[in-house]
Structure 1
Amino acid sequence: MEKTKFITKEQVAAAMKTIVARGEKPTVLATRQELGGRGSMSTICKYMRSIKSADSAEHPESDIVLPEAVEVAFQDAVSKLWETASETASADIETIRQASAKRIETVEQQIEELIDAIAGTEAEREELRAALQCSEDERMSLRNETISLKAKCSQLERWLEDVNKRLDGYMERLEANLSRVSSIQSKKDTSDPS
């Protein structure tokens, strides 16, 4: 190939044929390499599009007509294949449906058990809450009773103190009276000559 700065559509077509002959796909990059690195990618791409569209116009696809026996056999094979695939799919779907139904039933049962457990926990919580409230009420009652008893104790202590003081006073007077009685008795004993 002649090395010039510009490339032609014919040079691109020849490079593409060489690439196809080697069993490779003629890409823009492969075609540029086949051209020895000459030409811009956009120019090569433009020529390749033009060549491909010209080839498709020259070689339009034609309808292939099959013999009737081949066509019938083909349709029968496709029909049997479809029937087998449908049966297999139906069986698979039924298996999946049954497995899903069992799984759904299991999950629903687990949900019911959880709901029952939650309800039991709620009832237990309410019982505990009621017991706690009862304990709190009892604690408050005992607290009030303790305060009342402390007040009564203080009152009794004051009363007892007062009683002790009075008793002390009585004892002093009693001792004084005893002393006087004793003194009177002694005088009487000394004055009585019997």
Structure 2
Amino acid sequence: MGREATITPEQVHAIADAIKAEGGKPTLRAVRERLGQGSMGTIAKLLQQWKANQERQAAADLVLPPALQRAVLDFMAAELSAARAPLEADLAEQQQTAADLAAENERQADTIAEQSEALDALAAERAAAEGKAGQLAADLDGAKEDAARERQAAEAARTELAKATLRLEAMPRLEADLAAIRAELAKERQGRIEAEQQAAVLTAQKADLEGRLVDAKKEAERAGAQLERAQARAEQQAEALADARVTIQTAQARADDLAAQLDAARKEAKAASEDAATLRGQLAAQGVATHPAPAKKTPKA
């Protein structure tokens, strides 16, 4: 099917007029770039129409005096007659070539459009086929899963049937077990009642113990306060003891110094006594009466 034209002669003529007004040359490529769409063959055909209109308008705008106009027209007619034949032949050939190109471009454009439509149809068919194949694969997987679940369900049913058969065979033993379990439940129920009673007693004891614990905490707080005061007094006494020790050490040092002085004085007194005895002996040997000298008083410390 043929394509509808996406451009009009008015669009091509308007763009060509704009390019000419800007001082440019309205070529096929320039017009195509301004349009941004359409086939080159169609644009070339419409541009040829515009050029023909421009030539006719230029010929209509020429106004000369009648005599000169006749002379010019005669000259131009002669010249045109001489040059028209090859030009018309070239123009006809170029127009035919342009028309052929335009027709070929349009035919190729139609072919491309048809091929694009065919490709789109093939792509849609392929997508549909892929979707159908995916759906079939999903259905097949679902059928496989359903079959596997059914096999599992059948196997489970057989297992449950075997278990039920075993339970039926073991029913007498189960009834005896049930009686024993009921007896155990009765014992447990009695034990639970007794446990609840004991729990009530323990709750009362707990309340009493909590009261005692509060009193013990208060007593501990008072004992802690007393301990802090005792520690403060002990620290004060320790400081006083340290001061007393310093005082004792000072006094001991002074006593040691005085003892040393006293020992030195005694040694001096002993040496003096020995000197006096020696002197008395010498005097006695010389016949000098001696009288004991009064003893020196030792200075008190």
Q: What's the TM-score, normalizing by structure 1? A: 0.41
Q: Which has the higher contact order (CA 8 A, sep 6+)?
A: 2
Larger Rg: 2
